A and B are shown apart, each in its own frame.
Chain A
Amino acid sequence: MSDAKGLSRQQMCNRLAMEFQDGWIVNLGIGIPTLCSNFDFGDTAIIFHSENGVVGYGPLTAPGKEDMHMVNAGGQHVTLRPGAAIVHHADSFAMIRSGRIDVTVLGAYEVAANGDFANWKMAGQKGGGIGGAMDLAACAKHVFVAMEQTTRRGAPRLVEQCGIPVTAKGVVDLVVTNYGLFEITPEGMALKEIAPGVTIDEVIATTGCKLIVPRDVPIVKGAG
């Protein structure tokens, strides 16, 4: 983790999970986003879709009780909820490409003020790890990103233009970092909520693009 300041990874994912609407089909990328499924959704019915053809998975399986035939996109052993279904990969991505997924939550290296984002190839890397990210990013109704505010070396991840190869252009709606919640608007990147213990100046100093900051910025919902 680049910086212990601000929100924990679970708090970051909780904040995005609060945006999921009743009945939404939700796809979580590997890494930080998987924590979204730990959020207490109460009476809100959320159906988790996994790119390997699982519709309606539930919590992680208890150690020792793993079903060796049953994993999510991150290779974690998960349970199935009543009403779950299994399809093959082409049908799973048919659901994605045809716009049936309401939101995908993905990790990223960089998000730009115009909604471009990069998550499959680091600078100077040979090869890359795309997985299902390009299909999901191009086709989900909403694209949310969960990532740290800066790199390990302190460089901003919220940038004017992506400096590494993009996953998709102009698709990101909402970004959560350990410093706060950011929305991509037609006018650019806007700070919507700020993490407790972080100042506006600190957010601006660690953001690599022009940031729209309203007069009053509330504390991140649920983290106060």
Chain B
Amino acid sequence: MPKSKIFANFDDAVADIPNDSVVGFGGFAVVGMPVNLYGALAKQGAKGLTCVSNGTRGGATLPGDAPDMGWLIQNDQVKKVICSFTAPTRASQKLVFSEYYEKGLIDAELVPQGTLAERMRAAGAGIPAFYTPAAVGTELAEGRETRVFNGREYLLEYALPLDYAFIRAYQADQFGNLRFRRSQRNFNPLMAMAARVTIVEVEEEILPLGAIDPDDVHLSGIFVHRMVRVPPAPEGWWPMRPAEIAARAASQGSAAR
């Protein structure tokens, strides 16, 4: 019987992550974002990390005190980020990342979103590099290899392998076969495929083998190594509606008084 992939808590699941790891964080606009694993890694304290994610912040459906990449950056755990957004999407937004980036304390690689996804898909599929039309003729392509196929210019991009993928899924069985719900899928299966070790925060109770129909598996457990069930709030982090976030902030305010 192989070793169980189920871990009792997030701290145990991230305990052995060494300094200088390349870690992918799934999710898009909070949906499918491994909020609890961000918190555990901030507590664990590994440094010199390269963090791969669509952007560097949570979003409107997380309260301001929820963990996100900003926690790791503030802890001086992050050497570099690889993202499709390295600036706020609105002038009013303030990113922890931007503070550090503008002071030169952190490095960043800005990648078009489809290229970011495909670089991880390629890593997970045993393909070292590929050509894409995205970013041809832009600042991002300066000094880089391009090649013309069928009369059109394409830019060479390299696979992006990860040491660890931190992802969030809706359902899992004991082998790690995963199902995502609605737009939760996003980068999550790709990061899992690109990683040596994939750690999943699972929203529902982890199911016995056979409970997920093979036709309904979105990501094979072959790509999954560790799983932790997300406890109910407030012990575990879950996205919230704006009204719930406001009510929570108000109750915390009154508790502080």
Chain B binder among A18-26, A41-49, A90-98, A208-216: A90-98
Chain B, interface size category, equals: 35 or more
B108 touches A127 (CB 8 A): yes
A102 within 8 Å of B by Cβ? no
A130 touches B111 (CB 8 A): yes
**Given the interface contacts A52-B28, A135-B114, does A86 sit within 8 Å of B182 by beta carbon?**
yes
**Given the interface contacts A88-B189, A127-B87, does A138 sit within 8 Å of B135 by beta carbon?**
yes
Q: Most A CB atoms within 10 A — which of B88, B111, B182? A: B182
A135 touches B115 (CB 8 A): yes
> Nearest Cβ in chain B — how far from A146, in angstroms?
16
Contact residues of A: prevailing secondary structure = loop
> Nearest Cβ in chain B — how far from A134, in angstroms?
4
The interface residues of chain B lying within 8 Å CB-to-CB of A128 are: 85-87, 110
B175 within 8 Å of A by Cβ? no
A166 touches B113 (CB 8 A): no
The interface residues of chain A lying within 8 Å CB-to-CB of B54 are: 131
Contact with A along B164-206 (1 / 0, CB 8 A): 0000001000000000111111111110000000000000000
A30 within 8 Å of B by Cβ? yes
Question: How far does the alpha carbon of A191 sit from the alpha carbon of B59 in the complex, in Å?
Answer: 39
B6 within 8 Å of A by Cβ? no
B241 touches A64 (CB 8 A): yes
The interface residues of chain B lying within 8 Å CB-to-CB of A50 are: 183
Question: How far does the alpha carbon of A52 sit from the alpha carbon of B190 in the complex, in Å?
Answer: 13
Which residue from chain B places its CB closest to the CB of A95 in the assembled complex?
B114
Chain A binder among B11-19, B72-80, B136-144: B136-144
In the complex, how many residues of chain A place their beta carbon closer than 8 angstroms to a beta carbon of chain B?
46
The interface residues of chain A lying within 8 Å CB-to-CB of B186 are: 52-53, 88-89
B138 touches A51 (CB 8 A): no
Question: How far does the alpha carbon of A132 sit from the alpha carbon of B171 in the complex, in Å?
Answer: 28
Partner of B138, one of A54, A89, A129, A167: A167
Question: How far does the alpha carbon of A112 sit from the alpha carbon of B28 in the complex, in Å?
Answer: 32
The interface residues of chain B lying within 8 Å CB-to-CB of A127 are: 86-87, 98, 101, 108, 110
**Given the interface contacts A88-B187, A121-B87, A138-B134, does A69 sit within 8 Å of B114 by beta carbon?**
no
B183 touches A54 (CB 8 A): yes
Partner of A166, one of B59, B137, B189: B137
> Nearest Cβ in chain B — how far from A135, in angstroms?
3
Question: How far does the alpha carbon of A133 sit from the alpha carbon of B138 in the complex, in Å?
Answer: 12
Residues from 3 to 47 in A contacting B, C-beta threshold 8 Å: 30
Contact with A along B132-159 (1 / 0, CB 8 A): 1111111110000000000000000000
Contacts from B to A (Cβ < 8 Å) = 28-32, 54, 59-61, 84-89, 98, 101-102, 108, 110-115, 117-118, 120-121, 132-140, 170, 180-190, 218, 238-243
5 CB < 8 A contacts A-B: A89-B190, A93-B118, A130-B113, A131-B113, A135-B113
Q: Which 4 A-B pairs have the closest CB atoms?
A: A93-B114, A75-B29, A127-B86, A135-B114
